[in-house]
């Protein structure tokens, strides 16, 4: 039985992760820590775990193989550095850092420690995302000229962050607002499919004012090293989100509507774009499940810490571009 600890319970995905942990027969949670003791106690009770007042108890316990860090984003760095020093494998909820600098320091520490790392970019595992990445890499769309990904919901309109998740709409703790919170998933897919981003521009907006000056929607433009132009839309003020992908290439086209892929390619028999494309790979388990599988020795695809740090760097550049109304080069290093 692999023993883990939950370190920080602030993120809105924490309850979902708790349910996943409860369902695992090969993982048990020994400790729960949070800087708010009542929050730690609540999740510890749900997991039949021991709440601890000091995280040092977790770092010093040799039985703890891995930790799940779901704290506020501004608390990630000290927790990740402590986990790396203690040689604990780690799942860190996205985004990794507040910006490029802290994300890079965490990446260096994780790599030097030689531990497993995973973050919450679960959308890679969706069948059409796996398929599209492979088709782009194979050249079946020709040269990709434009790629647009969006990730939106109505969280601000519905008051999802009026509860204990209010910190996620506080830029001092989250580093980002609605655009970055949801946009980081689409950004991960863009970079996973297209590679290095060389410069960005962006516009962000406060719409309802429900969360003060926290941005609630935005649009970014990304220039890729391979010459493609990317656009990224994300936010918390969309009552519907039917079209998530549009990819145009010199020899093909793809778009996703209501979760259905429509695909056209000169190189793929039957790919005429008229009907939903059904020849897709199996979905991967959720990114969190993949981390738990990896802890138990299974060979599974994980997000590297360098990839996670690069997403933080590009997102920082997008926010800087929106503030300065200029093109900005991301501070991505590896």
Residue 268 contacts by C-beta under 8 Å, 6 or more apart in sequence?
135, 140, 252
Instruction: Indicate whether this model's pTM tops 0.75.
Output: yes
Q: In the chain, what are the domain boundaries?
A: 2-119, 127-282
Q: Of the candidates 299, 259, 298, which has an alpha carbon nearest to the alpha carbon of residue 280?
A: 259
DSSP state, residue 248: E
Residue 18 C-alpha from the chain's centroid:
18
Six token digits for residue 108:
């260096």
Helix (H, G, I), strand (E, B) or coil at 107: helix
Q: How far apart are CA 148 and CA 26, in angstroms?
A: 39
Residue 119 contacts by C-beta under 8 Å, 6 or more apart in sequence?
91, 92, 93, 94, 95, 96, 287, 303, 308
Exposed, middle or buried by CB within 10 Å (0-12, 13-18, 19+), for 323?
exposed
pLDDT tens for the 334 residues of the chain, in order: 999 999 999 999 999 999 999 999 999 999 999 999 999 999 999 999 999 999 999 999 999 999 999 999 999 999 999 999 999 999 999 999 999 999 999 999 999 999 999 999 999 999 999 999 999 999 999 999 999 999 999 999 999 999 999 999 999 999 999 999 999 999 999 999 999 999 999 999 999 999 999 999 999 999 999 999 999 999 999 999 999 999 999 999 999 999 999 999 999 999 999 999 999 999 999 999 999 999 999 999 999 999 999 999 999 999 999 999 999 999 987 6
Q: How far apart are CA 7 and CA 92, in angstroms?
A: 10
Tens of pLDDT, residue by residue over 151-194, are 999 999 999 999 999 999 999 999 999 999 999 999 999 999 99
DSSP H or E segment with residue 249: strand 243-249
CATH number, span 2-119: 3.40.50.720
Six token digits for residue 78:
């000290």
Class of the CATH domain delimited by 127-282: alpha beta
Residue 64 contacts by C-beta under 8 Å, 6 or more apart in sequence?
3, 4, 5, 30, 31, 58, 88
Structure confidence at residue 334 (pLDDT) = 65
Q: Using an 8 Å Cβ cutoff, are 95 and 312 in contact?
A: yes
Concatenated DSSP letters of 68-84: EE-S-GGGHHHHHHHHH
Tens of pLDDT, residue by residue over 78-119, are 999 999 999 999 999 999 999 999 999 999 999 999 999 999
């Amino acid at each position: 039985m692999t023993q883990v600890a939950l370190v920080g319970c602030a993120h809105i995905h924490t309850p979902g992760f708790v349910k996943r942990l409860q369902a695992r027969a090969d993982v048990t949670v020994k400790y729960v820590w949070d800087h708010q003791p009542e929050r730690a106690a609540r999740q510890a009770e749900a997991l039949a775990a021991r709440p601890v007042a000091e995280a040092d108890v977790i770092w010093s316990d040799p039985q703890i193989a891995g930790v799940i860090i779901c704290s506020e984003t501004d608390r990630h760095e000290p927790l990740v550095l402590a986990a790396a020093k203690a040689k604990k494998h780690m799942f860190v909820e996205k985004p990794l850092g507040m910006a490029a600098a802290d994300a890079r320091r965490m990446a260096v520490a994780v790599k030097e420690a030689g531990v497993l790392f995973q973050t919450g970019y679960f959308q890679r595992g969706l069948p059409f995302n796996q398929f599209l990445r492979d088709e782009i890499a194979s050249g079946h769309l020709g040269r990709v000229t434009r790629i647009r990904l969006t990730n939106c919901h109505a969280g601000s309109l519905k008051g999802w962050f009026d509860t204990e998740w209010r910190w996620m709409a506080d830029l001092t703790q989250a580093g980002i607002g609605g655009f970055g919170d949801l946009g980081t998933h689409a950004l991960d897919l863009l970079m996973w499919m297209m590679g290095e981003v060389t410069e960005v521009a962006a516009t962000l907006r406060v719409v309802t004012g429900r969360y003060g000056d926290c941005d609630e929607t935005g649009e970014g433009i990304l220039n890729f090293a391979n010459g493609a132009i990317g656009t990224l839309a994300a936010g918390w003020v969309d009552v519907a989100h039917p079209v998530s992908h549009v990819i145009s290439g010199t020899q093909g086209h793809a778009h996703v509507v209501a979760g259905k892929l429509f695909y056209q390619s000169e190189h793929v028999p039957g790919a005429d774009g008229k009907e939903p494309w059904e020849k897709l790979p199996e979905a991967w388990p959720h990114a969190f499940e993949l981390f738990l599988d990896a802890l138990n020795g299974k060979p599974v695809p994980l997000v590297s810490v360098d990839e996670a740090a690069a997403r933080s760097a590009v997102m920082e550049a997008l926010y800087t571009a929106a503030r300065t109304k200029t093109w900005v080069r991301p501070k991505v290093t590896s």
